[in-house]
Structures are given as C-alpha cells and as structure tokens.
Structure 1
Amino acid sequence: MGCHPALEQWEDAATSDHGQVLTWWRRQPHAVLLPTGRAFDVLEVPAHLGLRVLGAARLHAGVVGPGRGQVRGPVAVTPTGRWMLLVRPGDPLRPELDESLDVVRHGAGSWIPAPPTRLPEGPVRWAASPEETRWRLPDSYAVQGMLVDALGAVRLPRQTSTLRRAA
C-alpha cells in the first residue's frame, strides 16, 4: 500500500531515458519517484516546520539578496502534510536534529515521490517549484540550521516568554 518502487532493483533500473519511461508509462501509469543521495538529499519535516523554514528562507533571500547565502530551494509537499526540502547532497543531520522524530533525512538508497505523483490521500505538489528557485539547491547545513531554530521556537514554553515580558 502506498508509494513504493515498482521494481525490486529500482536503483539499477532507474533511468532518465525518455523512451524507456514512456514504455513503462504506457503499460501502467506509475508514481514519479526521485532517488536521493545523488543529485540532492531531502530533509522531510511536518508542515509546521516546513512553513517556518520556507518563510524564513524567503525573508533571508529578501534581506541578503538573490544568489547570496542561498537557503531557499525546491520544496515538495505530500497530501498528509509532510514537507520535503531538497538540499545539496552528502551532509549528515546535525546532532540537534539526529534524534528528532520530526526530521527525516533522505540520502543514498532512498527516494521521494515527486509532483504530480498521486498517493491514496491525494497528489504531491510543489510549495516551491524547482523553476521558482531557479533549480538551485541550498546548502544542507544552512537549512538544518533553520530547522534547529524552528524546532527551538516550537518548543519554547509559552510561560517563559510571559515571564520575560513581566520582568
């Protein structure tokens, strides 16, 4: 059930050959799965973290200027509310994120469903398309830093901020 590779040895069979993909598609439409760990990795997070990171990345781009300190990249969203932030490959998770159940890193040997893949719950869509981000991938550690900040903001007890205001 759900989205998974149609072939057992999917890494060996994966192709960008247009003719082969058309042949497979004629037999039966499939989900579009992108292998991670080669051209990009993915940081998968729940919607509340994805929204915070995307908002911070847009703000950062406006302050720093286009092309400098690039932290904004393509973002795909599943119908169940998981956000998939595409980043440059190779970096492991920062220690602050390694034990977080909210953050999953997809690297070598993994894959993600790409828009317009239709899952049982609905279609996968782009929150920030590759075209919108000019096909640039942000630095993984820069995005992870934004996730650490977002997790800290989410976990900050409300009473602490109230006490600070009262003091």
Structure 2
Amino acid sequence: MSDLVWTRGVEWLAAAASDPRACKRDWDRGEGIALLEAGRFWDVLSVPDQLGLLTLDLLWRPTLPVPGPTLVDTAAHRVGFFLPPDPDSKWIGAGLRHAGEGSWVAVPPPYRSTRFLEWLIPPDGTGELHSPTTLELALRQANGSLSVLAPLCGG
C-alpha cells in the first residue's frame, strides 16, 4: 500500500476515537492499541477464526468488490468484519458477536500488527465496509463447508 493509503486509513480509523490525536499517539507508543467505539462509523461482526478465514476467502472473488476492513485476533481466535453501523442488526448464530453502538473494539494502527491483533485487510480510508448481505451469504456458505468437513476431520 502507498503512504497516502496508509495515511487515509489512519485518519479514517482514528476518526472513531473520542480524541483522534490521542488515538494516533497511542498507536505510535506503548502497546500500539486503541479502543474505538463501534456504532458511529462502523460495527464489527466477530466470528470464530476458522469460520472467519474461510468466509474471507470466499469474499475474495473477482465478481465481488474487494472485502472491507477485516481484523484478526490471534489470542482470542476471532476474525472481525467491519460493517456499516446498524442499530437494528440481528446477527444470530453460534459464536457470532456483534459490536455496535455502545461497544468498544481494540484495534492496532492500519500500518502494522500489534501483539495479537493484525489487519487481514486494513482500512484504506475510503470508508468502504463489508456488505452485510454479501457477508451473510459468505458466512452461510463457509459454515456449510465447515459442517461437511468437521466429521471428516474428526471435529
């Protein structure tokens, strides 16, 4: 990614902080993690990592737009998909966690990983997010594939 894309990604993501300047300073020092409030610019749908990684793979199709920002938490074994804010969202399923208004999300800066948090697809500053409908279809397909594979893998 170019420096301009990184800069735009940082500005876009930091805008969700109550103090964007302090957020950017936190990213550059210490642990490099900022807590940002969901629900204003984006929500996050967090799923178990196996489901999330397979879903992201399904979203990388030439016929689909480039997937939106996606974060992996290797310590918690979760993948987070950034979606448009939706206070009426009703994501239901085993292991699904929806972070919307009133929720806080730990994020590293778009330009580097921090301990256990890493961007699989960093924000590019355009504000593009995952389409909820496209994401739901990919999650359903990935879940179906995992259901078929589990007995074969002894799961």
What TM-score results when the alignment is normalised by the length of structure 1? 0.63
Q: Residues 81 and 130 of structure 2 are in contact (CA less than 8 Å); yes or no, is this contact kept in structure 1?
A: no
CA positional deviation for 1:104: 0.8
CA–CA distance in 2 between the matches of 1:123 and 1:38?
Answer: 25
Cα distance per residue 1:88-116 (max 9 Å; x no partner): 1105134xxx1x23211111110211115
Long gaps (5+) in structure 2: 1-16
- Larger radius of gyration between Structure 1 and Structure 2: 1
Q: Secondary structure at the match of 2:130?
A: coil
Q: Does 1:147 align with 2:139?
A: yes
Q: Secondary structure at the match of 2:60?
A: helix
CA–CA distance in 2 between the matches of 1:112 and 1:141?
Answer: 22
Q: 1:93 aligns with which of 82, 90, 93?
A: 90
CA positional deviation for 1:82: 1.0
**Corresponding residue for residue 14 of structure 1:** 18
Cα distance per residue 1:95-139 (max 9 Å; x no partner): xxx1x2321111111021111585xxx3311011112x8541122
Q: Residues 73 and 86 of structure 1 are in contact (CA less than 8 Å); yes or no, is this contact kept in structure 2?
A: yes
Aligned length: 127
Percent sequence identity over matched residues?
26
CA–CA distance in 1 between the matches of 2:141 and 2:96?
Answer: 13
**RMSD, aligned CA:** 3.0
